[in-house]
Structure 1
Amino acid sequence: MNKIIAYIKRHKIKSAVLVVLLTAYYFCLPKQLFEDPTATVITSANNELLGAQIAKDGQWRFPQNDSIPEKFKTCIIQFEDEFFYKHPGFNPISIFKALRDNVKSGAIKRGGSTITQQVIRLSRKGQQRTYLEKIKELILATRLEFRESKEQILTYYSSHAPFGGNVVGIDAASWRYFNRNVNQLSWAESATLAVLPNAPSLIYPGKNQKLLIEKRNRLLKKLLHKSIIDTLTYNLSVAEGLPQKPFPLPQTAPHLLQKVAKKNYGQRVQTTINLSLQKQTNAIVKTHYNLLKQNEIHNISVLVLDVKTRQVLAYVGNSPTDKTHQKDVDIVDKPRSTGSILKPFLYAAMLDSGDLLPNTLIADVPSQFGNYTPENFNKEYDGAVPASRALSRSLNVPAVRMLQSFGLDRFHHYLKELKLKDLKYNANHYGLTLVLGGAESNLWDLCKSYASLSSTLNHYTENSSEYYSNEFCEPTFLASKSIDFGKKSPEKTLFDAASIYLTYESLKEVNRPENDENWEFFDGSKPIAWKTGTSFGFRDAWAIGTTKDYVVGVWVGNADGEGRPGLVGVQTAAPILFDVFDLLPNSDWFSKPFDDMQEVDICIKSGFRATETCENTELKYIQNSGLKTKPCPYHVLIHLDQNEQYQVNSSCENINNIVNKSWFVLPPLMAFYYKTKNPFYKPLPPFRNDCLDDYAASMQFIYPKETTTVFLPKDFDGKTNELILKIAHSKPETTLFWYINDIFLGTTKDIHDMAISPKVGKHLITVVDELGNEVKRWIEVSI
């Protein structure tokens, strides 16, 4: 050390120059060798190529790969730089031979560059091949050898070498010329690619075939002589043909590629996609698209989620349609009218809040709410229907009546907690249409919500009846991201486990469409909770289903919003849903959350908590909050004579002769429609003539509806048709007196229909029964 210090003191100028040169040498190599734009590449969960988007400069240049397959590594070293692992960045012998040959010929005929030098030349963007440039490359090559490992230098070369046309790098070349991953290349294919960078502008697949095959075979023969390959491999390799033209890169999930490119442009991104499932789902979508396009239905999107990991397993943003029908639009995250797909959330919310039991009877009768008159899809009414059945059959009128009873703001709050981002307005903006498609949402958010409900139920039964605080989180399609479900808590996140379970029990029973058609695809052996939806005007068809492990969501329609006859969820989206579920492993049904339920005596007919007057009851598990619901209001205790033909009381019959019996009684309007679907429904027996009737009669209009404008059509002879008024009375045998604008029209008994021929304008209809009960209704007549 002392000698060095002494030497520096004696030779200050030389030492200073040396320090400057060493410093210049140290900093002569850029920190980042290559800054070229790269293609956006997405791979599956197993790192299989799903698709790529070309780089901004129009080159197929994949992001640098960290590893090189052994076959290609061997071929490129044997062809380009046999002493690669032995030299310090340049090969003096090769340089001498190149210099000798070039001097003899008077031109540059041969290069002596190593792979390291070629990496430097590639990074310097095609500088002229002069001796000065060669000296620069040599210096930079030695510096690169000091900074990087041999393997890293090989990676640089294989990722940035030209392979003809606009193909750069071994990864892109492998797919463009052989349509497979570089790890799957044969010796012949690896050798072909190894010789291409040597003269990419001259040797191009599909051209100069003779020169290309000669170069390839010379390399293969060298591999044989060095015993790198055996004779059989050599003979098979030289017999292989050459690529004729570039293959298109895979586009297995093109719309997911678009989504990834927005935030990760120019990067290689590993996704959570299951390649096999994605391809099979693509095939299903294509098959159904070819059928649906005959009815001018052009767009389909499908999303498959893993409930436990919240990962996206398949992502189909659109059908393989054409540009005219917007094939490039990713519909998975686009807002569309929800149709009936939100009904399960209302059902679960009412269970959760204790406003409903699973089979509580809900009125299904013609209803009007201000100017809004909802109708069932089949235009029919059941009078009264169990809530679970109303959900499984997707009946509109019961759903709207449930929403009105539950409260619009309360339901809107639940939906906001589900983080449906397209629900942008307040509750009053949507009104009661909120549950029938008045709002918009997207396939991503809806599938996310169903997955969150399923995961809540799974976690509750698996974790000692506890909930996770971050259950309603965003799914992910990035393999690098894992979902944090938050902390455990005994407090529910949104819906309690029992309410979710009972909702799914109802949705599992969706096994028959209203018209009993197109149901050959239903497989009852697979327990799936699923729901369909159809928007107003037949613009959107939905089907979303969940098992314990998976959620599948399907949207069908036209991206431009055009409605089509037959664009109904159960006919167009549901078949796709079940075809996709057939690809997935079978799942056990959800475990019953007993800790969140109680066994209670339930009235079989009404679905309410049973009272002493309920004849047929059964023990059922209900949600804990269900204990707040009222007892059965439809069973009353009546008094009959000994023949049970007439109602009696103490005014006409000895108490000892009176038979007390429970009777199922619905309000008149509900009863009117209920008995058309339930022939065994028995109205209350009439009071015996000698008895004083102490039962308050009631009546309701069947038609016209409240504040209705009635249009009276004309026959072919020009005569205006009559208007038929209808009343439902709890005692049909009662005589009714009919008035229009206080003018007496007539009476009816047993069947309370009255035909009138009113003039154009507003009229007040009044009906009075013989007991003095009265109902009124305004109508407006138009012709």
Structure 2
Amino acid sequence: MYRLIRYFRRNRIKSFVILILIVVYYFCLPKKLFKDPTATVITSNSNELLGALIADDGQWRFPESDSIPEKFKTCILQFEDEYFYKHPGFNPISIFKALKENLSSGSVKRGGSTITQQVIRLSRKGQSRTYIEKLKEIILATRLELRLSKDDIFKLYASHAPFGGNVVGIDAASWRYFNRSASNLSWAESATLAVLPNAPSLIYPGKNQKRLLDKRNRLLKKLLENGTIDELTYDLSIAESLPQKPYQLPQIAPHLLQKVAKAHKGERIKTTINIALQEQVNNIVKQHYNLLKQNEIYNISVLVLDVNTREVLTYIGNSPTDKAHQKSVDIIDKPRSTGSILKPFLYASMLDAGDLLPNTLVADIPTQFGSYQPENFNKAYDGAVHANEALSRSLNVPAVRMLQDFGLDRFYHYLKQLQLKDLKHNANHYGLSLVLGGAESNLWDLCKSYAAMASTLNHFNDNSSQYFTNEFVQPIYNSESSADFGALNKEKTVFDAASIYLTFESMKQVNRPESDESWEFYDSSQEIAWKTGTSFGFRDAWAIGTTKEYVVGVWVGNADGEGRPGLVGVQTAAPILFDVFDVLPKSDWFVQPYDEMLEVSICKKSGFRASPICDDKELRYIQASGQKTVPCPFHQLVHLDTSEHFQVNSSCEAVSNINNKPWFVLPPLQAYYFKNKNPFYKELPPYRTDCLEASGIRMEFIYPNQQSTIFLPKDFDGNTNDLVLKVAHSKPELELYWYIDNQFIGSTKVIHDMAVLPKEGHHIITIVDELGNELKHKITISE
């Protein structure tokens, strides 16, 4: 050390120059050799290519690979640089031979460059091939050898070597010329690619085929002679033909590729996509597209999620349509009218809040809220229907009445907790139509919400009746990510487990499409909680279903918003849904969350908690919050005579002869429609003629609705048709007296229908029964 210091002191100038040279040498190599743009590449969860977007400079240049196939590596080393793992970055013997041959010929015949030197030359684009440049390459190559390992240098070469045309790197070349990954290439294919960087122009289809074939076969002969391959492999290899034209790269998930490119442009992303499932669902979508396009329905999107990991297993943003029908539009994250797809959230919200029991009877009668008059899809009414049946049959009127009773703001608050990003306006903007498609959402958010509900139920049963704080986490498509469900605690996230389970039980009863309507009779069938939706004007058809393991979401329609007859969820989207579930592994049904449930006595007829006078009861499990619901309001104690044909009271019968019997009684308007669908419904017996009737007489308009505007059509002769007024009375045998604007127009008995022909304008209809009970209604007549 002392001698070294003395040397520096005696030779300061020389030492300074040496130091400068060392510093220059150290910094002569750029930190990043290659700054070329790369293609965006996505692979499946098993590292199989799903698709790629060409680099910004128009080159098929994949991001640098982490590994190089051994066959290709062996071929390159044998063809380009046998002593790659022994030299310091340049090979003096090769350089001497090349220099001697070039000088003797008077032109450049041989390069003598090592793979390391070729990496340097590739990084220094556009430099002329002079002896000065060659010296620079040698210096930079030795510096590169000090920075990187041999394997890393080889990866740089394999990733940036030219392979003809606009193809750069072994990964892109193997797909463009052989339509498979580099790791699956044969010896002949690997040898073909190994000789190309030396003369990339040889690959042009239809040109230089003999030269390329000779170079490939010479390399294969060398591999045979050094024992790398055996005689049989050699014979089979030289018999293989050369590539004749470039292949199109796979486009198995093109819309996911677009989505990835927005956030990870120029990167290679390993996704969560199951390639086998993706291809199966692609085929399902193609088959249905070929049928639907005959009805001018051109667009389909499908999303499949793993409930437990929240991984995206299948991502189909659009059908294989054409540019004229927005083929490139990814519909999965686009806002569309929801139709009835939000109804399960209303049902779950009411269960969670304790405002409803699963079988509670809800009204299904003509209904009008101001100018808004909802209608069922079939234009008919049931009078009263169990809430779970209203959900499974997707009845609109009960849903709107339930929303009115529950409260628009309360339901809106639940929806906001689901983090539906397209729900951008306040509750009053949507009004009661919110549950029927008045709002917009997208397939991504809806599938996320259904998956979160299923996951909440699974986690509750798997973690000692606890909830995760972040159940409504976003789905993931990058395999390097994982869903963070948060911490466990006793508090629910949005819905409690019991409300979710009861909602899924109701959704399981939805009538399946005709092709799958007998699913219960097949052992291979599985239980699925699912729901369809159809937007106003037949513009959007939805179907979303969940099992314990998977969520499948389907949207069908036209991306430009054009409606089509027959574009109905159960007819177009549901068949796709069940075809997808058929190719998924079969799942068990959800485990019932008993810790969040209570067993109570339920009135079988009304679905409410049984009151003391309910005559037909059963024990059922309900959500814990449901215990605050009111007892059955539809059963009343009726006083009958000994024949039980007439009602009596103490005014006409001795108390000892009166039979007290529970009776199921619906309000008049509900009863009017209910008895048409339920022939066993028994109306209250009339009072015996010698009895003084008790109060409680009720009557309601069947048609028209309050404050409604009515257009009276004309017949073929130009005459205006009559308006038929209809009323339901709790005692239809009573005579009713009808008035329009205080002018008597007639009376009815038993069947209370009255045909009138009022003038255009505003009118007040008044009805008085023979006991003096009065009913008024305002209508407007327009011609």
Contact 1:347/1:391 (8 A) holds in 2: yes
Q: Tell me the amino acid that sits aligned with residue 262 of structure 2.
A: K
Q: Distance in 2 between matches of 1:166 and 1:115?
A: 21
Q: Tell me the amino acid that sits aligned with residue 76 of structure 2.
A: I
Q: Distance in 2 between matches of 1:400 and 1:745?
A: 35
- Runs of 4+ with deviation above 4 angstroms: 517-524
Q: Tell me the amino acid that sits aligned with residue 141 of structure 1.
A: A
Q: Distance in 1 between matches of 2:564 and 2:386?
A: 32
Give the structure 1 partner of residue 556 of structure 2: 556
Give the structure 2 partner of residue 237 of structure 1: 237
Report how far residue 520 of structure 1 moved. 5.2
Which moved further from structure 2: 757-766 or 598-607? Answer: 757-766
Contact 1:646/1:688 (8 A) holds in 2: yes
Report how far residue 24 of structure 1 moved. 1.0
Q: Distance in 2 between matches of 1:154 and 1:521?
A: 61
Report how far residue 762 of structure 1 moved. 1.5
Q: Distance in 1 between matches of 2:133 and 2:37?
A: 25
Q: Distance in 1 between matches of 2:684 and 2:135?
A: 110
Q: Distance in 2 between matches of 1:109 and 1:413?
A: 78
Give the structure 2 partner of residue 403 of structure 1: 403
Q: Distance in 2 between matches of 1:270 and 1:77?
A: 29
Question: Are 2:593 and 1:593 equivalent residues in the alignment?
Answer: yes
Give the structure 2 partner of residue 642 of structure 1: 642
Report how far residue 381 of structure 1 moved. 0.3
Give the structure 2 partner of residue 316 of structure 1: 316
Question: Are 2:296 and 1:296 equivalent residues in the alignment?
Answer: yes
Report how far residue 206 of structure 1 moved. 3.8
Alignment of 1:366-385 (within 5 A): 366-385=366-385
Alignment of 1:323-362 (within 5 A): 323-362=323-362
Question: Are 2:630 and 1:630 equivalent residues in the alignment?
Answer: yes
Give the structure 1 partner of residue 114 of structure 2: 114
Contact 1:529/1:545 (8 A) holds in 2: yes
Report how far residue 600 of structure 1 moved. 0.2
Q: Distance in 1 between matches of 2:727 and 2:66?
A: 81
Aligned length in residues: 780
Give the structure 1 partner of residue 63 of structure 2: 63
Contact 2:202/2:211 (8 A) holds in 1: no
Report how far residue 718 of structure 1 moved. 2.0
Q: Distance in 2 between matches of 1:61 and 1:139?
A: 27
Report how far residue 201 of structure 1 moved. 2.4
Question: Are 2:567 and 1:538 equivalent residues in the alignment?
Answer: no
Instruction: Deviation per CA, 1:171-197: give whole Å up to 9, x if none.
Output: 000000000010000000000000000
Give the structure 2 partner of residue 479 of structure 1: 479
Q: Distance in 1 between matches of 2:111 and 2:520?
A: 69
Contact 2:652/2:692 (8 A) holds in 1: yes
Give the structure 1 partner of residue 455 of structure 2: 455
Q: Tell me the amino acid that sits aligned with residue 556 of structure 1.
A: V
Report how far residue 438 of structure 1 moved. 0.2
Give the structure 1 partner of residue 197 of structure 2: 197
Q: Tell me the amino acid that sits aligned with residue 118 of structure 1.
A: Q
Q: Distance in 2 between matches of 1:716 and 1:323?
A: 48
Report how far residue 262 of structure 1 moved. 0.5
Q: Distance in 2 between matches of 1:512 and 1:124?
A: 65
Alignment of 1:188-227 (within 5 A): 188-227=188-227
Q: Distance in 2 between matches of 1:491 and 1:241?
A: 67
Q: Distance in 1 between matches of 2:754 and 2:57?
A: 80
Report how far residue 638 of structure 1 moved. 0.4
Contact 1:521/1:575 (8 A) holds in 2: no
In structure 2, the CA distance between the partners of 1:170 and 1:664, relative to structure 1 (3 Å rule), is same
Q: Tell me the amino acid that sits aligned with residue 56 of structure 1.
A: D
Give the structure 1 partner of residue 584 of structure 2: 584
Instruction: Deviation per CA, 1:27-51: give whole Å up to 9, x if none.
Output: 1111111110000001111111111
Report how far residue 202 of structure 1 moved. 3.9
Q: Distance in 2 between matches of 1:419 and 1:174?
A: 44
Report how far residue 611 of structure 1 moved. 1.0
Q: Distance in 2 between matches of 1:690 and 1:547?
A: 62
Give the structure 2 partner of residue 706 of structure 1: 706
Contact 1:206/1:243 (8 A) holds in 2: no
Which moved further from structure 2: 702-711 or 217-226? Answer: 702-711
Report how far residue 55 of structure 1 moved. 0.3
Q: Secondary structure at the match of 2:201?
A: coil
Instruction: Deviation per CA, 1:708-741: give whole Å up to 9, x if none.
Output: 2212222222222111110000011010000111
Report how far residue 706 of structure 1 moved. 1.1
Q: Distance in 2 between matches of 1:176 and 1:230?
A: 28
Give the structure 1 partner of residue 613 of structure 2: 613
Report how far residue 519 of structure 1 moved. 4.7
Report how far residue 523 of structure 1 moved. 6.3
Q: Distance in 2 between matches of 1:260 and 1:6?
A: 62
Q: Distance in 2 between matches of 1:615 and 1:550?
A: 42
Q: Distance in 2 between matches of 1:490 and 1:114?
A: 66
Alignment of 1:752-767 (within 5 A): 752-767=752-767
Question: Are 2:655 and 1:663 equivalent residues in the alignment?
Answer: no
Contact 2:202/2:209 (8 A) holds in 1: no
Q: Distance in 2 between matches of 1:163 and 1:6?
A: 56
Alignment of 1:35-46 (within 5 A): 35-46=35-46
Report how far residue 429 of structure 1 moved. 0.2
Q: Secondary structure at the match of 1:201?
A: helix
Alignment of 1:1-150 (within 5 A): 1-150=1-150
Give the structure 2 partner of residue 424 of structure 1: 424
In structure 2, the CA distance between the partners of 1:251 and 1:521, relative to structure 1 (3 Å rule), is farther
Q: Distance in 1 between matches of 2:110 and 2:390?
A: 84
Alignment of 1:676-691 (within 5 A): 676-691=676-691
Q: Tell me the amino acid that sits aligned with residue 339 of structure 2.
A: G
Q: Tell me the amino acid that sits aligned with residue 317 of structure 2.
A: G
Q: Distance in 2 between matches of 1:207 and 1:485?
A: 58
Instruction: Deviation per CA, 1:583-627: give whole Å up to 9, x if none.
Output: 111111100000000000000000000012111110000000000
Report how far residue 205 of structure 1 moved. 4.5
Report how far residue 522 of structure 1 moved. 5.1
Instruction: Deviation per CA, 1:152-176: give whole Å up to 9, x if none.
Output: 1110100000000000000000000
Q: Secondary structure at the match of 2:7?
A: helix
Contact 1:255/1:328 (8 A) holds in 2: yes
Contact 1:738/1:768 (8 A) holds in 2: yes
Give the structure 1 partner of residue 493 of structure 2: 493
Report how far residue 511 of structure 1 moved. 2.2
Q: Secondary structure at the match of 2:196?
A: helix
Report how far residue 86 of structure 1 moved. 1.1
Runs of 5+ unmatched residues, structure 1: none
Contact 2:420/2:445 (8 A) holds in 1: yes
In structure 2, the CA distance between the partners of 1:248 and 1:283, relative to structure 1 (3 Å rule), is same
Q: Distance in 1 between matches of 2:675 and 2:578?
A: 36
Q: Secondary structure at the match of 1:369?
A: coil
Q: Distance in 2 between matches of 1:141 and 1:519?
A: 68
Q: Secondary structure at the match of 1:755?
A: strand
Which moved further from structure 2: 349-358 or 761-770? Answer: 761-770
Q: Secondary structure at the match of 1:781?
A: strand
Report how far residue 272 of structure 1 moved. 0.5
Report how far residue 472 of structure 1 moved. 1.1
Q: Tell me the amino acid that sits aligned with residue 334 of structure 2.
A: K
Q: Secondary structure at the match of 1:726?
A: strand
Alignment of 1:257-268 (within 5 A): 257-268=257-268
In structure 2, the CA distance between the partners of 1:731 and 1:203, relative to structure 1 (3 Å rule), is closer
Alignment of 1:519-538 (within 5 A): 519=516, 525-538=525-538
Instruction: Deviation per CA, 1:343-388: give whole Å up to 9, x if none.
Output: 0000000000000000000000000001000000000000000000
Report how far residue 203 of structure 1 moved. 4.0
Instruction: Deviation per CA, 1:466-525: give whole Å up to 9, x if none.
Output: 001111111110111111111111111111100000000000011256xxx565585662
Q: Secondary structure at the match of 1:313?
A: strand
Q: Distance in 2 between matches of 1:204 and 1:159?
A: 20
Q: Distance in 2 between matches of 1:595 and 1:743?
A: 63
Q: Secondary structure at the match of 1:262?
A: helix
Contact 2:202/2:212 (8 A) holds in 1: no
Q: TM-score, normalised by structure 1?
A: 0.99
Question: Are 2:392 and 1:392 equivalent residues in the alignment?
Answer: yes
Q: Tell me the amino acid that sits aligned with residue 231 of structure 2.
A: T
Q: Tell me the amino acid that sits aligned with residue 453 of structure 1.
A: M
Q: Distance in 1 between matches of 2:47 and 2:669?
A: 63
Contact 1:205/1:242 (8 A) holds in 2: no
CA root-mean-square deviation: 1.0
Q: Distance in 2 between matches of 1:757 and 1:518?
A: 49
Question: Are 2:743 and 1:743 equivalent residues in the alignment?
Answer: yes
Report how far residue 126 of structure 1 moved. 3.1
